[in-house]
Amino acid sequence: MITKNSSACRRSNVTISGANPAASSIVFLHGLGADQSTWRLLAPAFEDRYRVVLLDLVGAGQSDAAAYDYVRHGSLAAHADDLLAVLHELDLHNVVFVGHSISSMIGVLAAIKEPARFGKLVLLAPSPRFINAEGYAGGFAQKDIDELLAAMENNYAGWSQGIAPVMMGPERPELVMELTNSFMQTNPAIAQHFARVTFFSDHRAELPLLTTPTLILQCAHDVIAPLAVGTYLNENLMDSLLVVIDTPGHCAHLTAPAETLREMEYFLSIPQYSPSVN
């Protein structure tokens, strides 16, 4: 595995592995509280055919935390621009993008802005808006989000220990501990700011602008991005397919990696996709 040392790649701690540089590229971007190591159960499966590109959100993992700008990164658009900067620097087009949770929407925004850079999108537990609105069930009432963010700011360690079982499911204590530790290794001020940006984001209006073929992988028992959100995305993205994975929590790439990989492989292997049959 090599690390690129150029500016955008260094800022986002880009690592590249797999096939030769002439191969097609698959790009993975993690969600809130994680870093690129969250893809360890999926990414290696693509190294024989793809140039595998992993990166950290600016402010997370081993990225350049000094590059996190509280004003600029006050919207997901800045993170989409960070992603595009990496693709520009590596001269990548027609990539497969795999995003988890809020990074799914970062990928959507980037693909809308520069569609030639993206061939297909795989969105794991995506949500365009987390707060309920008239005619839209996002999963949380406004007061729920206010309380969540207040708890995060008042007791970051306690909040991390409380949210991790919700995201992973209590049946996997080793994954709960892993995510808790990941939260604790993140600068609390950056984590709190990014959480506020995440949970107050609303990108429903942009969905009809996306033209890239998209696979939506939704967890069957996810309180953060419930099934109604996956259905909403499927109805509002012009070229999308929805597959539900029977796993608890919000992180199917860790709790159900075999099923997640199976659906990804099938989606990427054929032009006309329909969910595989168990």
Catalytic residue among 63, 101, 103, 127: 101
| φ/ψ bin of 53: left (φ > 0), alpha (ψ from -120 to 50), beta (otherwise) | beta
Q: How far apart are CA 168 and CA 130, in angstroms?
A: 18
* 246 is a catalytic site residue: no
Q: Which residue of the set 12, 56, 222, 240 is catalytic?
A: 222
Q: What are phi and psi of 202, to 5 degrees?
A: -150, 105
Q: Is 250 a catalytic residue?
A: yes
Q: For residue 189, with 0-12 CB atoms within 10 Å meaning exposed, 13-18 middle and 19 or more buried, which class applies?
A: middle
CA distances from 188 to 11, 41, 51, 59, 87 (A): 19, 27, 33, 10, 28
Is 222 among the catalytic positions? yes
Q: Which of 100, 203, 250, 253 is catalytic?
A: 250
Q: Which pair of structure tokens corresponds to residue 216?
A: 């939506």
> Can you tell me the distance from the alpha carbon of 250 to that of 254, in angstroms, rounded to the nearest whole number?
9
Q: Specify the 3-state DSSP secondary structure of 20.
A: coil
Which residues are catalytically annotated? 101, 222, 250
